[in-house]
Structure 1
Amino acid sequence: MAISMSKKKSKSSKKVETKQLQFSDTILFKVLYRIPAAIFLLILIFLWSSSTTVISGKFVHVCVSSRKLNNLYCLSAGTQPNFEIPIQALNNNGSISPNISASIKEVVDIAREDSNSIIGNRVQNNGSDDEVAFAVKVVEKQLEVQRSWISNKNHVTSCEGKGIYVYDLPSKFNKDLVGQCGDMIPWTNFCMYFNNDAMGEPIAKLGNGWYHTHQYALELIFHTRALKHPCRVYDENEAKLFYVPYYGGLDILRWHFKNVSNDVKDTLGLDLIKWLENKKPWLKNSGKDHVFVLGKISWDFRRKNDASWGTRLLELDQMQNSMKLLIERQPWHVNDIGIPHPTYFHPHSDDDIITWQLNIIRSNRKSLISFAGAARPDAPENIRSILINQCISDDTKCRFLNCSSGGCDKPESVIELFRDCEFCLQPPGDSPTRKSVFDSLVSGCIPVLFDPFTAYYQYPWHLPEDHSKYSVFVDQEEVREMKVNIVERLMKVPVREREDMRRFIVYELLPGLVYGDSNSQLQKFQDAFSITMNNLLHRVNRIE
């Protein structure tokens, strides 16, 4: 039986589950559980008076501060997602063994019987430590496979044999979704974020190339750039890579807080599959040379059982062979590939990048630490409250920007904070990854990570395997058990070590973490889009 990812845990099992990749306490949205009808009615009356409460049918969605959804995070009463972690075994050559979707223990059992398992030796002992170690090896092996797809060429010098075909999908799969920007969610108008080719409105205070970009704009940004790629072809017979510009994240977003059935949520994705199954290129290689770009986290597309959150697009059999680019990958699927969250910086030219590099490398970093975020009072196991308390207890060293009070609504406030600090705390929130990690890197602020799934197991094409070059890691269990004071810990990092990490971030990483504007003319640098496309072309050229 697959491991349940529900966040409601018994006290007796909490310690064991925390060990399981330190993942279960961060990966899913918290939900309100069923409560007695009388109390529930009183809460309904109270919630109805709140401007951040959405009542749709039999569900109540209570919205609090969150960076994951335009500063609002919503809990649903009367529903309980039942996500599971599928683990897929890998052979030595990196291929996925067919028809294997099981719990960690089941995969361990398979590994004991298979001398070709990724561990190489039989697992000798039972127990959660073995299971966790095996699961980590699965993740690390898959990252090795994904790194093997990295192109050794900085720029595409020739498009021969590298044609990119962009499907002209019916408008209901992309343009019509953008047209619903005004009422996707009840409290926010997304239309302003889709201006300027989905980069949003310019931020003059930060200089050239800065825009008020929404974190869910990746699908639109990528589509615009793909249409202008120098290797784009208009004859599918000349193509090597097929890009499907389906805005699946926007499709999901519009249903999150509306009282509709799961069948309705899945309709557009199923229609897309039917559309593709009538196309020769899709049938020719069973989708292996097709790529989807999805601007939300993988779990939003992996609805399980009778849960109500998200769609089941990525659980469909037809979607298993294709490559899926996401801002947060599912670590147990080798064809899920993490690529950077969109930041606010979209350079047009090499000079834009160089100017910003000089700006932040010369920045006078007045504070040691910053944390831009909000507590999770509904999630007592989340370490944010502990970090906030440690931060505000020494405000000479640490600056806290409270996102729950609207402090993070202005991008310039966040970027200027990060530009003034040596370290930026990046604890998990609604899920392991954070857009803020990339905002801090682009600002030259060294990210402090507490969960390896926040970055280390996510972005093999854009972040180096040696994470000590650009980040500091502090085990969240040590924070939770009050074994470490984060301010004291970071004060011990030598100045020379900080400077080395910052130079690596600014000069080696930064250009490849940002998406240039729709007409970017980068010559010296590869941005996140170029790195991604070059690696995709390298990958499909190896498909047999």
Structure 2
Amino acid sequence: MAMSLSKKKSRLPKRAEAKQLGLIDLILPKFLFRLPFALLLLILIYLWSSSTTIISGNIVHVCVSSRKLTNLYCLSAGTQPNFELPIPLLNDSSTNEVAGLVHENPLENSIEKYRDEELKNAVKVIKEQLQEHRSWQSNKKQASCDGRGIYVYELPPKFNKDLVAQCGNMIPWMDFCKYFSNEALGEPIPEIGKCWYQTHQYSLEPIFHARVLKHPCRVYNENEAKLFYVPFYGGLDILRWHFKNVSNEIKDTSGLELLNWLESQRHWNRNSGKDHVFVLGKISWDFRRKNNSSWGTRLLELDQMQNPIKLLIERQPWHVNDIGIPHPTHFHPRTDDDIVSWQSKIMGSNRRNLVSFAGAARPDTPENIRSLLIKQCTSMDHNNTNCRFLDCSLGGCDQPESVINLFTASEFCLQPPGDSPTRKSVFDSLISGCIPVLFDPFTAYYQYPWHLPEDHEKYSVFIDQEEVRNMKVNVVERLMKVPLKEREDLRRYIVYELLPGLVYGDPSSELDKFQDAFSIAINSLLERVSRLE
């Protein structure tokens, strides 16, 4: 399934960068507008001078960075489909023996470097939003359905079923149909084990839809509903246009027609869409097209879409109604025993590799640290016991079993940002018991409030990517210093505490002991809408 789609990248003029960035709307705090115009202009010039706009094929990545903001984050436009299956990360504060990892707390040190008030304010806003999201979490494994009905709209087929039917030509060079069999789980992978499937990373929408249809709280009378689910496959809608020469008007057609349809529904207007939820299987940027860009749609920029909750595999950190939920992995358990069996298997796995990295370099984006990590990994020794590199650009990640086998045999998995901050392989590594090593807080820490704990040291190791970029740290050597006991403690937390809640169960699953990723999301949504009145 791995496929390198990187193309020649070039630079845009600074004025075009600033125009596309939309920075004022995203991160400048309101108090800046009270400042004298000259001072405000100086601040904007400073930010623009450190922004980066990258064109990759038809993709425009508009990013903002600061001389003091070490973590780069793309603010608009989307990411090209990334078919490689890289790796995730992990670390725990249960022991204090590792010099430079726990005591220094590199993430907090990194944030302390933010001297620009607008950037510090942005991080503060993000954290406040995540706290609000976490407040919606239900403590009950199976919340009562009394007064908490879920209504599923029966949309015209063009908004979902007909999109799946276009699987044969969704992307010109690839047939997606095999990924949409078995209710979008894909074809089985018996080589890995029971309940493993060829699930595509963009299959979240039909997977979630199939589960909602069978939820015990589903109601067929709108008047009995508390939560309204809109099964629009917006990710598949946008995917079919990514690599075709069509106008922005065509790309926006489905979204506009959907909203026209919803506005004719009585319950949409009752709460201005606040009790409605959309599940979108691509990153937020793909639905937030900016001026002078041809990438993606502007669905999430429309006024009507500001009130509903949007569940995405990657949220836009400055929009409180964007909520990140896990990427689909290849493991879809049907019973509690399926989960327990897999937990037992990976806890007993022979982890002969200290570190591994599955991915591809980004040679045309020098600010990306992947090439540096690959160099550090491959230069350690000749037998690759310290670090194993699986090159996705050469087809090494085409089969999920290659990646999962690598992860289950590794202690740590390097997880640098790819075409966007988040990566599916973070979840692939976590469900394999491989401790993810993160380099950017936007990869996971600011994304998944319902499924990952606020204390990131419980499940990942964080190493500031600026230290890697400036050659101040050898990642493999630093990870060699992590004591065996700490690795074991981290792994136990990941496998026994996190893993069940990171996977999407089979549509016919009967989980009793565990909550999977779907159940956690639905229970949190029901808790949220119950507070609207």
**TM-score, normalising length from structure 1?**
0.80
**1:23-38 to 2 correspondence within 5 Å?**
23-24=72-73
Residue 26 to residue 334, structure 1, CA distance change in 2 (3 Å) = closer
Match of 1:224 in 2: 210
Match of 2:245 among 256, 259, 272: 259
Tell me, in whole angstroms, the C-alpha distance in 1 between the residues paired with 2:517 and 2:76: 25
Residue 29 to residue 174, structure 1, CA distance change in 2 (3 Å) = closer
State the 1:386 CA deviation.
0.1
Match of 1:484 in 2: 473
Query: Is residue 2:169 matched to residue 1:152?
Result: no
**1:349-388 to 2 correspondence within 5 Å?**
349-388=335-374
Tell me, in whole angstroms, the C-alpha distance in 1 between the residues paired with 2:77 and 2:422: 12
Tell me, in whole angstroms, the C-alpha distance in 1 between the residues paired with 2:68 and 2:78: 19
State the 1:69 CA deviation.
3.1
State the 1:204 CA deviation.
0.3
Match of 1:164 in 2: 150
State the 1:20 CA deviation.
3.7
Letter of the 1:136 partner, please give it: V
Cα deviation digits, residues 380-425 of structure 1 (max 9, x gap) = 1100000000000112300000000111111111001000000000
Match of 2:423 in 1: 434
State the 1:155 CA deviation.
1.3
Match of 2:121 among 134, 139, 158: 134
Tell me, in whole angstroms, the C-alpha distance in 2 between the residues paired with 1:393 and 1:239: 59
Letter of the 1:391 partner, please give it: C
Match of 1:329 in 2: 315
Match of 1:460 among 438, 449, 452: 449
Query: Is residue 2:199 matched to residue 1:213?
Result: yes
Query: Is residue 2:520 matched to residue 1:534?
Result: no
Greater Cα offset, 491-500 or 311-320: 491-500
State the 1:129 CA deviation.
2.4
Match of 2:66 in 1: 17
Letter of the 1:252 partner, please give it: I
Letter of the 1:537 partner, please give it: L
State the 1:25 CA deviation.
6.3
Tell me, in whole angstroms, the C-alpha distance in 2 between the residues paired with 1:8 and 1:511: 38
- Partners of 2:78 and 2:295 within 8 A in 1: no
Match of 2:270 in 1: 284
Letter of the 1:489 partner, please give it: R
Query: Is residue 2:407 matched to residue 1:418?
Result: yes
Q: In structure 2, the residue corresponding to 1:265 is in which secondary structure? A: helix
Query: Is residue 2:389 matched to residue 1:390?
Result: no
State the 1:235 CA deviation.
0.3
- Partners of 1:516 and 1:527 within 8 A in 2: yes
Q: In structure 2, the residue corresponding to 1:299 is in which secondary structure? A: helix
- Partners of 1:328 and 1:458 within 8 A in 2: yes
Cα deviation digits, residues 226-272 of structure 1 (max 9, x gap) = 00000000000000000000000000000011111101000000000
Cα deviation digits, residues 342-383 of structure 1 (max 9, x gap) = 000000000100000000001110010000000001111100
- Partners of 2:417 and 2:443 within 8 A in 1: yes
Q: In structure 2, the residue corresponding to 1:206 is in which secondary structure? A: coil
Query: Is residue 2:284 matched to residue 1:298?
Result: yes
Query: Is residue 2:83 matched to residue 1:70?
Result: yes
Query: Is residue 2:20 matched to residue 1:7?
Result: no
Cα deviation digits, residues 74-114 of structure 1 (max 9, x gap) = xxxxxxxxxxxxxxxxxxxxxxxxxxxxxxxxxxxxxxxxx
State the 1:17 CA deviation.
2.6
- Partners of 2:77 and 2:295 within 8 A in 1: no
Match of 1:518 in 2: 507
Residue 29 to residue 269, structure 1, CA distance change in 2 (3 Å) = closer
Residue 312 to residue 364, structure 1, CA distance change in 2 (3 Å) = same
- Partners of 2:435 and 2:461 within 8 A in 1: yes
- Partners of 1:301 and 1:311 within 8 A in 2: yes
Match of 1:41 in 2: none
Overall identity of the aligned pairs, in %: 71
Residue 376 to residue 28, structure 1, CA distance change in 2 (3 Å) = farther
Residue 263 to residue 128, structure 1, CA distance change in 2 (3 Å) = farther
Tell me, in whole angstroms, the C-alpha distance in 1 between the residues paired with 2:145 and 2:523: 11
State the 1:16 CA deviation.
5.7
Tell me, in whole angstroms, the C-alpha distance in 1 between the residues paired with 2:75 and 2:486: 30
| Greater relative contact order (CA < 8 Å, ≥ 6 in sequence) | 2
State the 1:18 CA deviation.
5.4
Match of 1:81 in 2: none
State the 1:130 CA deviation.
1.9
Residue 174 to residue 203, structure 1, CA distance change in 2 (3 Å) = same
Structure 1 unaligned spans of 5+ = 31-65, 73-126
Match of 2:458 among 465, 469, 488: 469
Query: Is residue 2:412 matched to residue 1:399?
Result: no
Match of 1:240 in 2: 226
Q: In structure 2, the residue corresponding to 1:425 is in which secondary structure? A: strand
Letter of the 2:120 partner, please give it: A
Cα deviation digits, residues 439-496 of structure 1 (max 9, x gap) = 0000000000000000000000000000000000000000011110011110111111
State the 1:23 CA deviation.
2.3
Letter of the 1:7 partner, please give it: T
Residue 309 to residue 495, structure 1, CA distance change in 2 (3 Å) = same
- Partners of 1:17 and 1:24 within 8 A in 2: no
State the 1:15 CA deviation.
10
- Partners of 2:325 and 2:451 within 8 A in 1: yes
Residue 25 to residue 253, structure 1, CA distance change in 2 (3 Å) = closer
Tell me, in whole angstroms, the C-alpha distance in 2 between the residues paired with 1:327 and 1:407: 24
**1:41-60 to 2 correspondence within 5 Å?**
none
Q: In structure 1, the residue corresponding to 2:66 is in which secondary structure? A: helix
Letter of the 1:152 partner, please give it: N
Tell me, in whole angstroms, the C-alpha distance in 2 between the residues paired with 1:149 and 1:499: 31
Letter of the 2:83 partner, please give it: N
Q: In structure 1, the residue corresponding to 2:457 is in which secondary structure? A: helix
Tell me, in whole angstroms, the C-alpha distance in 2 between the residues paired with 1:399 and 1:196: 34
**TM-score, normalising length from structure 2?**
0.82
Match of 1:177 among 123, 141, 163: 163
Match of 1:194 in 2: 180
Cα deviation digits, residues 9-44 of structure 1 (max 9, x gap) = 9xxxx99635446124697668xxxxxxxxxxxxxx
**Count of paired positions:** 449
Residue 264 to residue 21, structure 1, CA distance change in 2 (3 Å) = farther
Letter of the 1:131 partner, please give it: E
Tell me, in whole angstroms, the C-alpha distance in 2 between the residues paired with 1:524 and 1:282: 35
Q: In structure 2, the residue corresponding to 1:409 is in which secondary structure? A: coil
Residue 21 to residue 274, structure 1, CA distance change in 2 (3 Å) = farther
Q: In structure 2, the residue corresponding to 1:17 is in which secondary structure? A: coil
